[in-house]
C-alpha cells in the first residue's frame, strides 16, 4: 500500500511509541540523542497531530528467521510503524527513521541534530531491512592505545556515560558488537577490585541494548610488546597454573559473550606447544564461561612462517590445527586490504594467504571473522595527522570481494570486526562506513561516504570520494604510504633489528650517502609524490570554495585536506633538500619545507581547538595503563614527526648536534 501523501503541518517533535519489550533500550537511545523534542511513551497511545510518531511493533512471529531485521510501514504522513521481533531491530528501525528526519550519528559524542524537522514518508525504504552479515558486526576499540575508547572503557572512573554513548553510536550505525583488549594493570588486586564492578556495569549496559560484548586477552607475556593482560607470563610456571591464577580475573562473574585470544607480534614458539596452549586456554574459557565463544586473532607477518604437517604457512595459521570451535579473526593492517598490494607492511607484499584462509572457512561453512583496521595510529595516520578516507575504499573493497566470492563459491562471512584507534580528524568516517557496509554493502564505496556526509556535507562527498581513490593510487599502488607516514625512535630501532611493522622508506641518511640513487628516487618517489601534493592542493581548494554550512564537520573536512596536502609538500621539500648537491637549491627546498610545516601547524591548531571530544587528555601527557603516557593526539598536537624529520635533516645537512625528538615515549 502506498503511504499517504505528506501534508503541511509543522512538526513540533517526535514521539516513539514502544511496547514493554523494547522500552529500556529505546529510552536509552532517546536519552543519548541530544534533542529535547524527542520522547518515548509506552504503547498504546494516540499519535499527536503536530508530532512525528514512530511506533515500534514487536512480533515474535514477524521475521522470526530474520534476526535484527526491521520493516518500516507508513500509516500516515507522520506516523510510521517499525516492525521487528527483537530489541536491536527496533533500535535500528528507529535510528533509520531519525536519520530520515535529518539526524546523523557520525561521532559518538557529537550527534548532528537538524535545525528543522523534515520528514517525507513516501521515500522510506521498502521491504524488510536485513543485515548482510548475521554474526558479530562491530568494533574492537583498541584500548591498548590511549584513545577515546581507552578512557571510556578502561579508565572511566565513575563516569560510564562515554561508554554508553559509544555503545549507542555503534547501534545507531547498525552494529551489534563491541570488544576491547584487557590491560595488565588488573593483575594488581587493588586495581582489579575497582575494574571488575565497572566492567560488570559496562556489560550490563551493553546487554540491555542487545549489544554483544567481548574481551581480547593476550596469551603469552613473552610476545607482549604492549601492556596487554596476558595469561602466561613466566616460562617457569606451567600454563595450567597460570590459567588457574589469571583467567578468573577476566571470566568470573563477567559475562562476556566472546573472548578473543591474541598472540602478540613477531612471536614464534614450537608449533605443537603453541597449538596445545591454545586448546588448553580455550577449554579453560569454556569451563569458566560455557556460553562464550572463543576467537583467535590471525595476525600478519611475512617473515613468521613455519613448516607443519607438510605445509609451509604463516605462523599464526597454526590456529587451523587447534580446537575447531575456535573462530579465527583474519587480520589485516592499516588501510591495506585482502585484494591489493600490502606495501611491505609487516614484511608482506599482500594478504592473499589471509584471504584464502578466510575463503576456505567460508566454503566449508565454518565461521570466520574478517578483522581489518580503520586507523593504525602509531606514527602512521591519524597521529601524523593525515586525513585518509581511502580506509573507506579498502574496507568496502574487502567486503565487496568477499561477497563476490561467496556468490560464486558458496558460504558466507560470519562476522566483521574493525580495529578502531581513534575518531578525530575524520576517522569517525572510517568506522561509520565500515559498520554500515557490514550491515548492507552498497554498490560503491562512494555511497558510504555520501550516506555518512548527509545533506549538509553532500557537496563535499564527491571530493572525499576522489581523495580516497587518489590516496589508493598513490599510497597503495605506488607505495608512497611511508613517505607521508611518520617515523619514531621505536620504528628506527625496529629497522635496526630487522623488525618492520610499517612499510619501510629510504631515510634521508641512506639517500644522502648514495647519490647514485637520486635519479631513480626522483623518478619513482619524488615525481609521483609531487603529483600527489598538487592533487591534494587542488582538492583542498575545491573544498574551501564550497558553500558548506559552517560547522565542526565542515571545518574538520577542510582542515584534514589542508594538513594532508601540507604533509605531502613537507616531505617532497625535505627529500628535495637531500637529493641536490647545490647549496642554494637545498636551502630553497628547506624554506618550502618550513612553509609547509607552518601550514600544517596552523591546521592542527584550528582542529585541536575544535575537536568533537574536548577531553584534554587526548592531546596531552597523562598517566595511564598503556605503554604510551599520553593521549593519541599528543604527538599530533606538536607535529612531533615533522619536527623529528626537520631535526634529522639539520643534523645531516648542517651537522647540527641537537638530538631529534623520539616521538615515542
Residue-wise pLDDT for 228-279, tens only, equals 999 988 777 889 999 999 999 999 999 999 999 998 765 567 899 899 999 9
Of 36-45, 291-300, 422-431, 570-579, which gets the smallest average pLDDT? Answer: 36-45
pLDDT at residue 224, as a whole number: 65
Taking the C-alpha atoms of residue 77 and residue 47, their distance in angstroms, rounded to an integer, is 12
- Are 215 and 141 within 8 A, CB to CB? no
In sign, the C-alpha dihedral spanning 322, 328, 334, 339 is positive
pLDDT at residue 75, as a whole number: 95
- What Rg, from alpha-carbon coordinates, does the chain have? 25
Q: Coil, strand, or helix at residue 386?
A: coil
Of 17-31, 259-273, 376-390, which gets the smallest average pLDDT? Answer: 259-273
Q: Mean pLDDT across the stretch 120-126?
A: 94
DSSP assignment string, 48-114: PTTEEEEEEEE-TTTTTTSTT-EEEEEEETTEEEEEESSHHHHHHHHHHHHHHTT-EEEETTEEE--
Distances (CA, A) of 92 to 89, 105, 548, 580: 5, 12, 29, 59
Taking the C-alpha atoms of residue 64 and residue 85, their distance in angstroms, rounded to an integer, is 7
Residue 10 has pLDDT above 80, yes or no: no
Burial bucket for residue 10 (CB in 10 Å: 0-12, 13-18, 19+)? exposed
Q: Which residues lie across from 337 on neighbouring strands?
A: none
Place of cell 566449508: 364
pLDDT at residue 9, as a whole number: 54
Of 70-84, 294-308, 494-508, 622-636, which gets the smallest average pLDDT? Answer: 494-508
Place of cell 568477499: 402
pLDDT band at 48 (very low <50, low <70, confident <90, very high): confident
pTM assigned to the model: 0.96
- Are 390 and 348 within 8 A, CB to CB? no
Residue 385 has pLDDT above 90, yes or no: yes
Of 111-120, 143-152, 203-212, 440-449, which gets the smallest average pLDDT? Answer: 111-120
- Are 479 and 525 within 8 A, CB to CB? no
- Are 349 and 394 within 8 A, CB to CB? no
Q: Mind spelling out the 3-state secondary structure of 587-652?
A: HHHHHHHHHHHHHHHHHHHHHHCCCCCCCHHHHCECCCCCCCCECCCHHHHHCHHHHHHHHHHHHH
pLDDT at residue 338, as a whole number: 98
Residue 18 has pLDDT above 90, yes or no: yes
Q: Mean pLDDT across the stretch 608-617?
A: 97
Q: Which architecture, in CATH terms, is 137-453?
A: Alpha-Beta Barrel (3.20)
Residue 665 has pLDDT above 70, yes or no: yes
Q: Mean pLDDT across the stretch 448-461?
A: 97
Domains 13-129 and 137-453 share a fold: no
Which residues touch 630 (CB under 8 Å, ≥6 apart)? 146, 620, 621, 622
The pLDDT mean for the chain works out to 94
Burial pattern 52-73, b for ≥16 Cβ within 10 A else e, equals bbbbbbbeeebbeebebbbbbb
Q: Domain ranges for the chain, please list them.
A: 13-129, 137-453, 469-654
Which residues touch 181 (CB under 8 Å, ≥6 apart)? 140, 142, 143, 144, 215, 216, 217, 218, 228, 229, 262
Distances (CA, A) of 283 to 153, 203, 271, 474: 27, 23, 18, 46
446: which 3 cell numbers? 562512494
Q: Mean pLDDT across the stretch 582-605?
A: 95
pLDDT at residue 497, as a whole number: 75
pLDDT at residue 4, as a whole number: 45
pLDDT band at 7 (very low <50, low <70, confident <90, very high): very low
User: What is the domain class of 13-129 according to CATH?
Assistant: alpha beta
pLDDT at residue 300, as a whole number: 93
**Strand 13-18, strand 305-308: pairing:** unpaired
Residue 500 has pLDDT above 70, yes or no: yes
Residue 415 has pLDDT above 80, yes or no: yes
Amino acid at each position: 500500500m502506498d503511504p499517504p501523501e505528506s501534508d503541511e503541518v509543522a512538526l513540533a517533535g517526535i514521539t516513539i511509541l514502544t511496547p514493554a519489550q523494547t522500552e529500556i533500550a529505546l529510552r536509552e537511545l532517546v536519552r543519548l540523542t541530544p534533542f529535547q523534542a524527542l520522547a518515548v511513551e509506552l504503547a498504546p497511545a494516540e499519535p499527536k497531530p503536530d508530532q512525528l510518531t514512530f511506533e515500534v511493533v514487536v512480533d515474535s512471529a514477524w521475521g522470526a528467521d530474520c534476526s535484527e531485521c526491521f520493516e518500516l510501514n507508513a500509516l500516515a504522513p507522520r506516523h510510521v510503524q517499525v516492525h521487528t521481533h527483537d530489541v536491536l531491530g527496533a533500535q535500528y528501525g528507529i535510528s533509520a527513521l531519525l536519520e530520515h528526519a535529518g539526524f546523523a550519528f557520525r561521532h559518538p559524542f557529537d550527534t548532528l541534530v537538524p535545525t528543522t524537522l523534515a520528514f517525507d514518508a513516501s521515500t522510506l525504504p521498502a521491504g524488510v531491512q536485513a543485515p548482510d552479515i548475521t554474526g558479530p558486526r562491530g568494533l574492537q576499540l583498541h584500548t591498548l592505545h590511549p584513545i577515546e575508547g581507552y578512557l571510556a572503557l578502561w579508565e572511566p572512573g565513575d563516569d560510564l556515560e562515554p561508554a554508553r554513548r559509544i555503545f549507542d553510536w555503534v547501534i545507531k550505525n547498525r552494529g551489534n558488537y563491541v570488544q576491547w583488549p584487557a590491560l595488565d594493570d588488573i593483575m594488581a588486586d587493588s586495581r582489579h577490585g575497582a575494574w571488575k564492578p565497572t566492567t560488570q556495569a559496562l556489560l550490563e549496559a551493553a546487554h540491555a541494548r542487545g549489544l554483544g560484548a567481548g574481551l581480547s586477552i593476550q596469551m603469552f607475556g613473552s610476545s607482549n610488546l604492549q601492556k596487554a593482560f596476558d595469561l602466561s607470563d613466566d616460562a617457569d610456571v606451567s600454563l595450567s597454573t597460570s590459567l588457574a591464577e589469571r583467567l578468573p580475573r577476566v571470566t568470573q562473574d563477567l559475562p562476556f559473550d566472546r573472548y578473543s585470544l591474541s598472540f602478540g607480534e613477531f612471536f614464534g614458539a614450537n608449533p605443537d606447544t603453541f597449538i596445545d596452549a591454545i586448546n588448553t586456554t580455550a577449554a579453560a574459557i569454556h569451563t569458566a564461561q560455557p556460553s562464550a565463544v572463543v576467537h583467535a586473532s590471525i595476525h600478519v607477518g611475512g617473515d613468521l612462517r613455519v613448516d607443519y604437517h607438510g605445509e609451509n604457512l604463516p605462523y599464526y595459521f597454526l590456529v587451523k590445527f587447534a580446537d575447531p570451535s575456535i573462530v579465527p579473526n583474519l587480520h589485516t593492517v592499516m588501510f591495506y586490504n585482502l585484494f591489493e598490494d600490502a606495501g611491505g607492511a609487516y614484511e608482506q607484499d599482500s594478504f592473499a594467504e589471509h584471504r584464502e584462509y578466510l575463503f576456505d572457512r567460508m566454503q566449508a561453512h565454518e565461521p570466520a571473522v574478517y578483522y581489518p583496521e580503520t586507523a593504525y595510529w602509531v606514527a602512521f595516520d591519524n597521529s601524523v595527522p593525515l586525513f585518509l578516507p581511502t580506509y573507506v575504499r579498502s574496507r568496502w573493497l574487502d567486503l565487496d570481494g568477499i561477497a563476490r566470492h561467496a556468490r560464486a563459491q558458496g558460504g558466507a562471512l560470519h562476522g566483521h570486526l574493525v580495529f578502531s584507534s581513534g575518531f578525530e580528524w575524520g576517522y569517525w568516517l572510517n568506522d561509520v562506513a565500515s559498520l554500515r557496509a557490514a550491515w548492507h554493502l552498497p554498490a560503491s564505496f562512494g555511497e558510504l561516504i555520501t550516506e555518512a556526509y548527509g545533506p549538509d556535507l553532500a557537496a563535499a562527498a564527491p571530493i572525499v570520494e576522489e581523495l580516497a581513490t587518489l590516496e589508493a593510487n598513490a599510497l597503495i599502488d605506488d607505495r608512497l604510504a611511508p613517505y607521508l607516514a611518520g617515523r619514531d625512535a621505536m620504528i628506527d630501532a625496529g629497522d635496526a633489528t630487522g623488525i618492520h611493522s610499517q612499510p619501510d622508506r629510504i631515510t634521508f641518511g641512506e639517500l644522502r650517502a648514495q647519490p647514485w640513487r637520486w635519479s631513480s628516487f626522483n623518478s619513482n618517489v619524488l615525481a609521483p609524490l609531487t603529483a600527489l601534493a598538487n592533487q591534494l592542493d587542488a582538492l583542498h581548494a575545491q573544498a574551501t570554495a564550497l558553500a558548506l554550512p559552517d560547522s565542526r564537520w565542515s571545518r574538520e573536512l577542510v582542515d584534514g585536506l589542508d594538513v594532508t596536502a601540507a604533509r605531502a609538500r613537507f616531505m617532497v621539500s625535505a627529500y628535495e633538500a637531500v637529493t641536490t648537491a647545490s647549496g642554494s637549491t637545498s636551502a630553497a627546498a628547506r624554506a618550502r619545507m618550513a612553509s609547509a610545516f607552518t601550514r600544517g601547524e596552523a591546521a592542527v591548531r584550528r582542529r585541536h581547538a575544535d575537536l568533537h571530544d574536548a577531553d584534554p587528555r587526548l592531546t596531552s601527557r597523562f598517566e595511564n595503563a598503556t605503554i604510551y603516557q599520553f593521549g593519541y593526539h599528543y604527538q599530533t598536537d606538536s607535529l612531533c614527526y615533522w619536527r623529528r624529520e626537520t631535526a634529522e635533516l639539520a643534523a645531516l645537512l648542517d651537522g647540527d648536534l641537537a638530538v631529534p625528538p623520539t616521538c615515542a615515549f
